[in-house]
Chains A and B, each alone.
Chain A
Amino acid sequence: QITLKESGPTLVKPTQTLTLTCTFSGFSLTTSGVGVVWIRQPPGKALEWLALIYWNDDKLYSPTLKSRLTIAKDTSKNQVVFTMTNMDPVDTATYYCAHRADGSYSNYWGQGTLVTVS
């Protein structure tokens, strides 16, 4: 059974750096084809893909946010850490981590964590 859970601050101040951790179980980030993605959703708005890390440590970032994002994995802890620098109130959103299936879609999602920038 695959599960993922996001953790981190619920409130950050403008200009601060946001650090979120995705702790997962039921799969390994050393298995070929596997990845973990971060996606966010501002209140009442659409989903926005942010970043993806693959089993082989390749990384992809949203081109519009790339300069502010970092994603890294700790396979020994079954965790993926996501950081976003220079937070702004427009970055207020629910941040989700999700399992990336071999086909570039997410078949398992965390419950999400609401981050408010104020």
Chain B
Amino acid sequence: QSVLTQPPSVSGAPGQRVTISCAGSSSNLGAGYDAHWYQQLPGRAPKLLIYGNNNRPSGVPDRFSGSRSGTSASLAITGLQADDEAVYYCQSYDINLVDSWVFGGGTKLTVL
């Protein structure tokens, strides 16, 4: 059971907008710790998608955006493309678990 809770799956048609939620608690996101998002394509290592809640590393399209509010965070993908099909993970920091990094359980995005 992951400390951060994500929906197991989401789906959308090409061109549509989807959002992926990440629910935390007062010891991680609610304590003000940042949310970070990773994209994992099949058989590949995770790739940083969003850091510090809403910042994109160089090379990540602006179709990807993030936000954090209270004890939760979300990732939005607009203009959905076939190669966005992947598993997405949120990650933060938790002070209750003796200063640990924590991940969500991952959300499988299917492009219909």
On A, residues with C-beta under 8 Å from B are 37, 46-49, 52, 60, 62-63, 96, 101, 103-107, 109-112
Interface of A is mostly: strand
Number of interface residues of B (CB under 8 A): 25
On B, residues with C-beta under 8 Å from A are 2, 33-34, 36, 38, 45-48, 51-52, 57, 89, 91, 93, 97-106
Interface contact B101-A49, CB-CB below 8 Å: yes
The 6 listed contacts between A and B (C-beta, < 8 Å) are: A47-B89, A49-B91, A63-B97, A96-B45, A106-B38, A112-B45
Residues of B within 8 A of A103 (CB): 34, 36, 51-52
Residues of A within 8 A of B47 (CB): 109
Docked complex Cα distance between A47 and B47 (Å): 12
